[in-house]
Structure 1
Amino acid sequence: MLAGTKIVLGVAGGIAAYKACALTSKLTQQGAVVKVIMTKSATEFISPLTFQALSRNAVYTDTFDEKDLEKIAHIDLADWADCFIIAPATANTIGKFANGIGDDMLSTTILATTSPVYIAPSMNVNMYSHPSVVANMKILDGYGYRFIEPGNGYLACGWVGKGRLEEPETIIQVVDQDLLTNQLFAGKKVLVTAGPTREKVDPVRFFSNHSSGKMGFALAEEAARLGADVTLIAGPVQLPTPTNVARIDVESAEEMYQAVNSYYDDQDIVIKAAAVADYRPINTYQEKIKKKTGNLTIEMERTKDILKELGTKKQGQFLVGFAAETTNVLDYGKAKLVSKNLDAIVINDITVEGAGFTTDTNQVWYLNREGKEHLLPLASKRDIARQLLLIIDQEIKDESK
């Protein structure tokens, strides 16, 4: 997959910069077109001439050194790249990326790119575990940057532990595999629902639930990364729209029902991760209900069962439901899988620590209609989303055999 791939390699100022020379050479040997950006500190360890000879391209070190007067270098590079690899990524560089600081060629180019970014950290073991570095890496993970974890071993500072830049062969393997999987859903249309719904009582009150939308948004983001044409129907949440995803905002269960049905027929994969209200008030009020003595009774009625209707009328779509449960999770999930005519169901036991609505991590069961069960252990919701999509892709391939 690397042949012809346009890669910008960012080299920050650490002793592991010498490994970036081998990385440049190996990428070039595999047919990639490599352009290198070095920070000022990186040039203290390795000469730009070394990378120029290995990549056979000019090396960028200064934001104001415009090599082509008709182009702005950092914008041109940002647009040119199929992906960025930052190796080594120092604590300082990671901090700049996480906080939007653009004060050199590398950081300004990163701010300008929409291409995938792979970060391979390298630093002292104590620096790597420092709360500020951990927080910055978490921010970048939230932006969709991919981390290639450092290895354990003897460090230049004399310490032994985690912080050693991963070997060039491993970095290449990670990027190569990602480029391969990023084409899995090319040409497929994927519909994802996410978040809660709100069922109005009066102008200031509504019924809702604890869903944050994070799992559904992660699914939409990862589906787009895999090349799909993604439509995301989102309840009221405060989350940014993932890159290359068409977002439709709704509020009530009825609005969710109408939006899903308007897009359903021409979809290849539908993943209903939204926590749609099962009930809504029969009567709503145009003015605020005033507080009175005694209890207040609000009569509720069932909302439409969107997932069941989709299962009834599906014609070739691969339909996946979600179930948030607290007891007998597998039994309830299996029953829902059958009763709603689903191809698969993802069951979320919200009593598990680190899983559930508002967390950034999750642990789920994936069940299909053939009775196969997959437990996806606790991981970030983005990782869980990617694992789920890879399973779905394999199941669709198995069905077509």
Structure 2
Amino acid sequence: MKKTILLAVSGSIAFYKAYELISLFKKEKIRVKVLLSQGLLKFANKISFEALADEILCEENENWESKKNHIDFSKDCDLVLFAPASVNSINKLALGIADNLFIQTLIACNKPLIITPAANTNMYHHFSTQNSLKLLQKNKALIIPPISKVLACKDEGVGALAEVEDIFNITKRELFRKKFWLDKSVVISGGGTREKIDDVRCISNFSSGKMAKSIADAFYFLGSKVIFLSSIDFKTPYEIYKFENSKDLKALLEKFCESDFLIMAAAVSDFIPRFQKGKIKKNQFSKGLDLHLKLNEDLLKNINFKGKKIGFKMEFDTENAIENAKKSLVEKNLNLVCLNILNKKNTFGSDQNEFYFISKDACEKSGLKDKKELAFDLVNWCEKL
């Protein structure tokens, strides 16, 4: 079901960041209606917002014969994002001073509200502003606090609008969260392990970690507590725990073994070399270096995990892949296996993937999809386990 937000933009010098927010929401196919204050129209022309948003409302185009009025405009919205929020509008909204179309519309809208203040440091810290924010928060508004930096007025301190990407992520989470996931903790592992040969060389694999990141994002946006274990660096709105080798990963898995779900997407090396401290000199081995590899522990099979376990299996052998995945389901005591058969269209590092979702009762092919879309398919399977 398509979501709609009402983006309320007040007269703050940070107004231009509203354009970035609209763009981010539109890329996610979220419908954006924009409410403009008279203060904002001193900085910008409404035409610039008309070019980006699905609909806009301001005092210039108010019309009671259509739905462009303070009562009807927000009725089809799922959430209100007040960004940026000026001190004047924050204080008027908190006290119910509905002396203009902008505040009237916000008061008439009975939907979840997110407020992102942007103001001069002294104005933000003033007791009236702080009292208003506390009152709004007490009445279930979510406040995304401003950050500290050099402001447009050249003062330095708290007051700058929060980072656009942070506002977007928090808003998207509020918009899409599902009751089922709000009290669930989910561990997702991703990326390949690096097993040291010496202090400069290692055995690893080509895993990009992209699929795991998409899965972690999906669980986060649906409201879960996400515990992301990754060997790859990503910028995330949730905490990321880094590992390098299978020993590091095992320690992290044991630390979070009381969680509700484990999504084991990490590509753990099947073999471990004998480690030699320092750097092995190539002139020591005129005929080449022979590596002694021992079989690695099966972390997913051996982990004493409290909740549901979802494993990933990568195969090239199309003939036996499904049967091998079904064996893994039993041998590793898994609730679900995501089978990934590599081919020309489905390769390491691509932005698309294809799974066979295999449980004890079902085997279903996803078809080739964007990894973000596929991640939500996995979440849906997890809900049914």
TM-score (norm 1): 0.60
User: Unaligned regions of 5+ residues in structure 1, if any?
Assistant: 1-5, 39-47, 85-101, 118-142, 147-173, 397-401
**Deviation of residue 278 (structure 1)?**
0.3
Is the Cα contact below 8 Å between 1:8 and 1:83 reproduced in 2?
A: no
Q: Within 5 Å, which residues of 2 pair with 1:367-386?
A: 367-379=358-370, 381-386=371-376
Contact kept? 1:201, 1:285, Cα under 8 Å: yes
The Cα of 1:51 is off from its aligned counterpart by: 3.7
Q: TM-score, normalised by structure 2?
A: 0.63
Aligned match of 2:74: 27
Say if 1:267 and 1:112 are closer, same or farther in 2 by CA, change over 3 A. same
CA-to-partner distance for each residue in 1:218-269, whole Å, 9 max, x for gaps?
222322222222222223x2323x2233x332222122223213322x1211
The within-5 A match list for 1:1-400 is 8-10=7-9, 12=19, 13-15=48-50, 19-21=55-57, 22=68, 25-27=72-74, 35=82, 50-56=101-107, 69-70=126-127, 82=142, 109=161, 111=163, 114-115=166-167, 117=168, 178-179=176-177, 181=178, 183-235=179-231, 237-240=232-235, 242-245=236-239, 247-264=240-257, 266-281=258-273, 283-291=274-282, 292-310=285-303, 313=304, 317-328=307-318, 329-353=321-345, 355-379=346-370, 381-393=371-383, 395-396=384-385
**Letter paired with 2:330:** V
Alignment CA distance shift 1:30-1:68 (3 Å): farther
**CA RMSD of the aligned region, Å?**
4.3
- Percentage identity across paired residues of the two chains: 21
Give the residue type in structure 2 aligned to 1:392. Answer: C
CA-CA distance at 1:82 after TM superposition:
4.6
Q: 2:343, 2:103 → 1: CA distance?
A: 55
Distance 1:376 1:71 in 2: 56
Q: Which has the larger radius of gyration?
A: 2
Report the Cα distance in structure 1 between the residues aligned to 2:78 and 2:339, rounded to whole angstroms: 43
> Structure 2 vs 1, CA of residues 64 and 337 (structure 1 numbering), >3 Å: closer, same or farther?
same
Q: What does the per-residue CA deviation read over 1:66-115, in whole Å, with 9 as the maximum and x for residues that have no partner?
A: 69954789xx79x976599xxxxxxxxxxxxxxxxx989xxx63526734
Correspondence for 1:169: none
Deviation at 1:208, TM superposition (A): 0.4
Pair 211,29 (structure 1): closer, same or farther in 2 beyond 3 Å: closer
1:200 Cα shift?
Answer: 0.8
Deviation, 1:62, is 9.1
Give, in whole Å, the separation in 2 of the partners of 1:60 and 1:224.
21
- How many aligned positions are there? 295
